[in-house]
Structure 1
Amino acid sequence: MEKLFSELKRRNIFRVAGVYAVIGWLLAQMASVLENAMNMPAWFDTMVVSSLLLGFPIAMILAWAFEMTPEGVKRTESANADEEASRKTGRGLDYVLIGGLALVGVLIIGGQFRSSAPANPDAAPSLAQTNKIDGQSIAVLPFEDFSPDKDQSYFADGIAEELLNVLARVDGLRVASRTSAFTFKARESSISEIAAALNVGHILEGSVRKSGETLRITAQLIDTETDEHLWSETYDRPLTAENIFEIQDEISQAIVLELNGQLDLLPETSSRPTQSTEAYDAYLKGKEAYRNRTEDALNESLDWMGRAVTLDPDFAQAHAQLARIYSLQREYAGLGNNHARFRSKTHIDRALELAPNDWEVLSEYAWQIFGERLNLEDGLAAFDAAISANPNNASAHRGRGLLLLNYGETEDGMVSLQQARQLDPKSEVLLINMSRGFQDRDDIDGSQAILLDSLRLNPDFQLARGQLSQVLVQRGNIEMAHRIAMSCQGDNYCDNALGNIYARLGMDDRLAALGARSWSMYLPFKNENTAELDRLVSIATGFDPLSDLGLLDVMNRPTEAYSTIQDSPERLDLLLDGELEPNSTNLRDELALYWALQQAGDQRAADVRASLSTGFEGVEPGPYNFGTAYINGAKWRMVENDPDGAMAWLNALADRGVATTFVQVKSHWFEPLYDRPDYQAYKARMRAIADRDRQLIEAQLANPPEIWWTPDEVLDGAEQ
C-alpha cells in the first residue's frame, strides 16, 4: 500500500487531481453565469459539470501514463530517468494548485462579504436610520423579450404582470404596482435606484423567449440592499396555457419560500383563466393596447379582447376587461352613454357569473359600479371586496378614493388615494386624481405640485397638461395656460382646457372652431338657441344624476332637474339627508339640489337649506384659490335673500383679476342683481379683465411660436 501511495505521489496523481478539482469548480461557476447572462439552454451548466465528472477518471489515467516535461509530454517510464524534470513538473502543478485555491478563496470570501455588507457602505447608515426600504416588499420588473424576432414584448410584459398579480395576493407581502414597476422598462437604472423609487426590498426580473411551440422563462430574485441574486431559475416548456400558469405558480412559490423568514403564507395557486393559448395571447395584446387611452388604442384593444372571448367564451378576465374598455371608450372616445353602459354591464355580468371571487373581476365590477354612479354605499362595498381579494390592488384603492371625492368626502378620499400612491408611486393618472382632491381643499399649490409630479413622470401626458393649464388659469397666468393647452391641441382634455380659456374671454369664434365636446352646449346656451340646446341636453343627460343636476342648474331647467331627483332618489340620498361640516365652499351640488326642490315647491328644500346654513357657517368672501368658491358663496347669500352679501362675494371674485364665464352668460341665480349699479360696475370690471387677457391670447395666436410649450418649462415656466 505504501509503495502504491509513493508511486501515485511520484506520478503527480494527487497534484493533478487537485488542479483538476479547482479548475473544474471554476469552470462550473463560469457555466452557471454564462447560462443566465447569455440566455443559454437550461441544461448548459449541467452538461459542463457532467463532462467534468466524466473527464476526471480520464485525467487520472493520463496523469499515471504521461508526464509534462520541459521537452514535452513523455511516457512516465521514459521520464523516470530525469528526476529533476519530474520535480519541476510537480512544482509547476503546485503553483497552479496554489493559485487556483487562492482564486477560489477570493471568490468565496468576496461572496460572503458581499452578502453581509451593503453595496454602498456610505449609504448604509441612512438606510438604517430612515427604514425607507420595506423588506417584506417586491417589485416585478417587465421581463425582457428574448424571442428571435423581438416581437413578443406584450407577452413578456403580460407574464411579468401575471406574476405580479399572483404575488400581490400573498398575505404580508407588499407588491409595487404594475404601473410604477413598468416605468423602468428599457431604462438604464441601477437596482438601488429602482428600489429607492419603488420603496421595495426585493426585485424580480427575468426574460421570456417564445419561439414556435416552445417557451422559456428565466427569472431571478435580487436583494435590493446587497444587490445579491437570492434565487434564479430557467423554465423550458412546451407552449401551452397550462404550462404558462404552472410556471407562474412555481416562480411565485419559490420567491415566497426564499423570503420565508419574513412571510408566513405561500401564495395561492393561480387560477387557470383559460386553456386556450391563443385566447390568452389575445388577452395580453388587448391589455397592452388599452393602456394608451387613445381612441385608436381602445379600438385595437376592443378587437383583441373580442377575439379572446370568441376563442374562449368562458374567459372571465377577458369579459371583465371588455367591460372596462367600453367604459373607457365613453370617456376617451366619445362612445354614447347608453351604448357604453349596456355593453359594459353585459360583459361584467358574464365575468361575475364565471368567476365571482376573482380579484380582477371584482375590481372591474367595482369600477362598473363607480361608472353607474348608483350610491356611495354600494360603491364602497364593491371596492372593499376588490381590495380584500387583493390588498395590493392600487386601482381599487384609487377608485375608492375617487368615489369618496365624488360624494364630497374629501379627506377620506385622499386617504384612499394616498394608499394607492404607496402601492403605485409612478401612476400619472393617480396623481391627476389627487390633484382633484387638492382642488376640493382649495389647495392650489398642492394641486399644481402634484400635476408637475405627473408631468415629470410622463412629460407627454396630455391629461396632466390640460389640468395644469386650468390650474394656471386660476392663478391668473393666462398666457402660460394657453401655451400649455395649445401644445396638445386635438386631445380631448387639452381642447377642454382651451375651451375654458376662450369661453372666459368671450372668444366665441375660436370656441366654435375648436369643437371641444365639453363645451358643445355653451354657445347654444349663450345665444339662446333653444332647439339645439334641447338636442344636446338630451344627449348629455341620463347617465349620472348628480352631473345632470349640475348641468340643468346652469341651463336653468328646473322641471327636468326635479325629475332627475325624483327618478334617482338613491343617488341623491346623501345630499338630501347629509349633515355638512362647517366652513365649506365646495357645495355646488347641494346648492343645485336646493334650487331644484325650491322651484318645485318640495318641502325638502327647507332641510337642504338648513344643511347649507351649517356648511357655510363661518365662511367669509375670500381669499380663495378657485373661482368656484366665490360663485358658491354668492349663490348662498342669494338663498338667504342677502343681495348685498352676494355682491360682496362677487366683488371679491373680481379682486382676483381672473376672468369668469359668469359674466358672459345669464345666470338665474343672479338675475335679481342685474339692475343694481354695483352689479353693473362688477360686470364692467370683469369684462375689462377679460378684454385684457383676450389681447394677450390674440397676440399669441397672431404670432404663434414654432413650439408652443415643451416639458422643459415644467420647472421654470409653469411654476412661475
Structure 2
Amino acid sequence: MSSFLGELKRRKVVRAGVIYGAVSFAALEGFEIVLSNLGLPMSLMRFLVVFAIMGLPLALVLAWYFELTPDGLKRAGDAGTPTRTPWLSTGAVVATSLFLVLGSAAWWLSSNLDAPAAFEPVSVDAASVAVLPFANLSDDPENEYFSDGLAEELLHVLAGVPGLKVAARTSSFSFKGRVQDVREVGRSLAVATVLEGSVRKSQDRVRINAQLVQAEDGFQLWSQSYDRELDDIFALQDEIAMSIVDAMEMTLVGGVEDLELEPVTTNQMAYDKYLWGRYNLGKRTEAGIQEAIENFSGSIMLDSTYARAYSGLADANLLLPSVAAGDAVRPGDAYAAGLAMARRAVELGPDLAESHASLGGALLAGWELEGGVRSLDRATELNHQYSLAHQWSALPLALLGRYNEALAAARAAASLDPLSAVAVAELGLTLRYVRRPADAVEQYDVALALDPDHAAALEGLALSYIELGAWDEARESYGRWAAQVGRDPLSVDRLVQAARTFADGGPPGDASEVIRQESRSAWARARWHALVGEDERAILEIQRAFDARHGAFWTVADPLLERLRSDPRVEAVGREIGIRW
C-alpha cells in the first residue's frame, strides 16, 4: 500500500487531479457566462458539468502514464525512475479511458436529447412563451426546489400579462433534465419564444442567468444576469418578467405593478417553505404530499396571511386520498380539511386564481356541482391561462348539461398544456360524456402517446370502444389497463366478452363474482353490472356508492348507464347530485 501511495506521489497523480478540478471549475464558471451571452441553451450546462466529471478519470490515467518535463511530454518510466511494464500497454489504457468517457457522454446526450411526443400545433401566437425549468447550479442539489420554484413563479407572473400566452407548467417542465433544441420546444408547445436559465443559490444570495430565445431560429431576444440578496427575490421576479415583455415588444398599460396579480408574502422563510410545498406536491406520491402538507403548514405558521400557502394546503389535502395506501386516510376528513383551507385562501386572496380553483376542487369533492363550477369560473376569469381550472371544470360542466362550455374548457386545458397526458385524457373523458366516443378515442390515443401507462386513458379508451361496438379493440385496451392497475387480464376479458354477448342480444350473464373481485369501486361495479345486463344489481351498487359518498359520482351519468336513468332510484341519485340529464 505504501509503495502504491509513493508511486502516486512520484507520478504526481494527486497534483494532476487537484489542478484538473481547479481548471474545470474555472472553465465551468466561464461557460455559464458564455452560454448566457451567446444565446446557447442553458441546459447545455448540465452536459458540460457531467463531461467535466467524466473527464477526471482520464486525467488521472494520463497523469499516471505520462509526465510533463522540460523536454516535453514523456512516459513516466522515461522521465526518471524506471517502472515495471504494465500488463496493459499505455495506448490500450488511454484508448479504453477515452472510449469510456466519450461513450458515456454520447449515452448521456442520446438519453437526454429526445423530446416528449407532441402533436403539431395549429398556429403559433407571436406573443407566446414557455418557461422551462431553470438549471440548478448550486453546490447543494437539494436547492433544485428553489430553481424549479423560481421558474414556476415567473410562469405565474407572465400568465398575468394581458395578451401573452404562456404554456402550462406540466408541459414546460416535461423538458426538465434534457438538452433540448428550443426550436423543438417551440413546435411541441406552440410558442414563439422560450425562457430558460440557471440559478446558483448560496446562503443569502442568489445568482440568476436568464435568456429569452426565439423558438423559430434560436435567436436570442434578451439575456441578463442578476446577483442579488434573497430578500429581493420578489422584486427580481417582476423585473425579469417586465424585461421579457419589453423584449417581446408588447405594450402594457402602466408598469410592472400590472404584472403582480397574485398576493405574495414578505416573509422569505414562509416563501421558501411554500416553494418546498409545491415541489413536493408535484411528486404526486403519498410521501411527497404528506411532506407538502408539512411544508405548507410551516409556511402558514410563519405568515398566517399567506393565501397561496392556504391554497397549496387545500390542494394537498384534496389529492391525498387518491394516492394514500389502504385506509390510512379518510377521504371525508381530507376533503373537509381541504375545503376549510380553500375558503381561508379565498378570504385572504379574493383576486387569486389559485384560491378559487382550490375552492372549486374542494366543492366538487363534496359533490357541490354548481358551487364548484362557479368557483372554477371565477378562477379562469382571474387567470384565463390557468389550465388546471379549465381542466377541473370541464366534466362538471358536461354533467350540468352545458356541453359547449364543457368542450371549450377541456380544449383550453389541452391547448395550454399540450404535453400533459392528464389534460388530454380529460378532454377524451369530456368528449365521451357529451356522446362523442369516436372523438374521444382520438384524444385518448394522443394521451397514451404522451404516457403509454396512463391508466385512466387506457380505461377511457376501452369504454369508448365499447360505446362504438369495437369489441376487439375494447378487449385489447382493457387488457392493457388490467395489467397496468394490477387486475387479472383474463377475468377482465371475461367481463368484456359477457358485455359483448348482452349487447349482441344474448341473455344477461351472471358475472357477479368476477365483478366483485375485479372492481374495487361501487361505481365501477355498477357500470359492469349494467354492461352485462344485470340492471337491478347495477342500481343497488349506484345507491350504495351514493350513500357512502364514494368519489367518482360522475359515473352515474356515464353514457353506458343511460338505459338505467328511467328508474326512479337512479333518477333520484342524479337529482341529489345535481346532474342534468
Structure 2-normalised TM-score? 0.66
Q: Kindly provide the CA deviation profile for residues 158-186 of structure 1, in whole angstroms up to 9, marking residues without a partner as x.
A: 11011010011111111111122112222
Residue 146 of structure 1 and its aligned partner are, at CA, apart by 0.8
| Structure 1 equivalent of residue 282 of structure 2 | 291
Report what 1:640 is aligned to: none
Aligned: 1:459 with 2:452:
yes
- Partner of 1:408 in structure 2? 401
Of residues 235, 243, 248, the one that matches 1:254 is 243
Which residue identity is paired with 2:33? N
Instruction: Give the one of 363, 368, 377 matched to 1:374.
Output: 368
Alignment check: 8 A CA contact 2:194 2:212 kept: yes
Q: Distance in 2 between matches of 1:491 and 1:221?
A: 48
Query: Which one of 230, 239, 249 corresponds to residue 239 of structure 1?
Result: 230
Task: State the distance in 2 between where 1:558 and 1:280 align.
Answer: 53
SS across alignment from 1:201: strand
Assess, with a 3 A threshold, how the Cα gap between structure 1 residues 345 and 520 changes in structure 2: closer, same or farther: same
Structure 2 counterpart of 1:485, from 475, 481, 484: 481
CA distance in 1 between partners of 2:244 and 2:411 (Å): 28
Q: 1:467 to 1:247 in 2, by over 3 A?
A: same
The alpha carbon displacement at 1:539 in A equals 5.3
Per the TM alignment, residue 286 of structure 1 is displaced from its structure 2 partner at its CA by 2.4
C-alpha distance in 1, partners of 2:465/2:124? 36
User: Is 1:443 matched up with 2:436?
Assistant: yes
2:33 counterpart (10, 30, 36): 36
* SS of equivalent to 1:488: helix
Shift of 1:311: 3.5
Counting only pairs closer than 5 Å after superposition, residues 120-139 of structure 1 correspond to structure 2 as 132-139=123-130
The one of 461, 464, 476 aligned to 1:468: 461
2:241 maps to amino acid: S
Is the partner of 2:126 in helix, strand or coil?
Answer: coil
Q: 1:257 to 1:562 in 2, by over 3 A?
A: closer
Residue equivalent to 1:344: 338
208-217 or 276-285: which moved more?
A: 276-285
- Aligned equivalents of 1:510, 1:503: Cα separation in 2: 11
Aligned residue type for 1:476: W
Distance change in 2, residues 1:38/1:188 (3 Å): closer
8 A contact 1:154–1:288 mirrored in 2: yes
Q: Deviations over 1:7-58 (max 9, x none)?
A: xxxxxxxxxxxxxxxxxxxxxxx99984524789xxxxxxxxxxxxxxxxxx
Map of 2:347 onto structure 1: 353
* Aligned CA distance change for structure 1 residues 262 and 197 (closer, same or farther; 3 Å): farther
**Aligned AA for 1:175?**
V
Distance in structure 1 (CA, Å) of the matches to 2:140 and 2:490: 40
Q: Which amino acid aligns with 2:332?
A: N
Quote the Cα distance in structure 2 between the aligned partners of 1:142 and 1:491: 37
**Shift in Å at residue 301 of structure 1?**
2.8
Alignment partner of 1:152 is 2:122: no
Question: By how many angstroms is 1:527 displaced?
Answer: 13
Cα contact 1:141–1:160 (8 A) shared by 2: yes
Q: Using structure 1 for the length normalisation, give the TM-score.
A: 0.54
Which amino acid counterpart does residue 180 of structure 2 have in structure 1? S
Correspondences of 1:532-547 after superposition (within 5 Å):
537=545, 540-541=548-549
Kindly tell me: are residues 449 and 507 of structure 1, through their superposed partners in 2, closer, same or farther at Cα, counting changes over 3 Å? same
Match of 1:420?
A: 413
Q: What is the deviation of 1:497?
A: 7.5
Distance change in 2, residues 1:473/1:549 (3 Å): closer
Instruction: For 1:347, give the aligned amino acid.
Output: M
Q: CA separation in 1, counterparts of 2:430 and 2:542?
A: 33
Report the AA paired with residue 365 of structure 1: L
The Cα shift of 1:498 comes to: 8.0
Asked if structure 2 preserves the Cα contact closer than 8 Å seen for 1:316 and 1:350, the reply is: yes
1:204-603 aligned within 5 A: 204-240=195-231, 243-261=232-250, 266-267=255-256, 268=258, 270=260, 271=262, 273-333=264-324, 335-376=329-370, 378-474=371-467, 475-477=470-472, 478-490=474-486, 501=496, 504=499, 508-514=512-518, 516-518=520-522, 537=545, 540-541=548-549, 562=572, 565=575, 568=576, 572=578, 575=580, 590=581
Which residue identity lines up with residue 188 of structure 1 in the other structure? V
User: In the TM superposition, what is the alpha-carbon distance from 1:369 to its structure 2 partner?
Assistant: 3.6
Letter in 2 for 1:389: L
Greater mean alpha carbon deviation, residues 264-273 or residues 310-319: 264-273
Q: CA deviation at 1:219?
A: 0.8
Higher relative contact order (CA 8 A, sep 6+): 2
SS in 2 for 1:388: helix
C-alpha distance after superposition, 1:116-162 (max 9, x if no partner): xxxxxxxxxxx9xx993321111111111111132222221111011
Alpha-carbon distance in 2 for matches of 1:418, 1:534: 30
Distance verdict in 2 for CA 1:285–1:557, change over 3 Å: farther
After TM superposition, give the deviation of residue 455 of structure 1 in Å.
1.5
Could you tell me which residue of structure 2 aligns to residue 711 of structure 1? none
Cα pair distance change 1:287/1:466, threshold 3 Å: farther
Distance 2:573 2:385 in 1: 41
CA distance in 1, matches of 2:217, 2:172: 20
Distance 1:228 1:487, change over 3 A: same
Q: CA deviation at 1:386?
A: 1.5
Gaps of 5+ in 1: 1-29, 41-126, 576-589, 591-720
Alignment partners' CA distance in 1, 2:407 and 2:542? 37
Greater C-alpha Rg: 1
Q: 1:558/1:135 Cα in 2 relative to 1: closer, same or farther (>3 Å)?
A: closer
- AA at the equivalent of 1:255: I
Deviations 1:321-351 (A, max 9, x none): 2222222234454754532332122101211
Letter in 2 for 1:253: M
Q: Match of 1:183?
A: 174
Residue 418 to residue 39, structure 1, CA distance change in 2 (3 Å): closer
Query: Structure 1 residues 244 and 534, CA, compared in 2 at 3 Å: closer, same or farther?
Result: same
User: Is 505-514 or 31-40 further displaced after alignment?
Assistant: 31-40
Does structure 1 retain, via aligned residues, the 8 Å contact 2:428–2:443? yes
Q: Which amino acid aligns with 1:419?
A: A
Give the direction of change, closer, same or farther, for the CA distance of 1:514–1:375 in structure 2 (3 Å limit). closer
Q: 1:301 to 1:556 in 2, by over 3 A?
A: farther
* Cross-structure match for 2:183: 192
Query: What count of residue pairs does the alignment treat as equivalent?
Result: 449
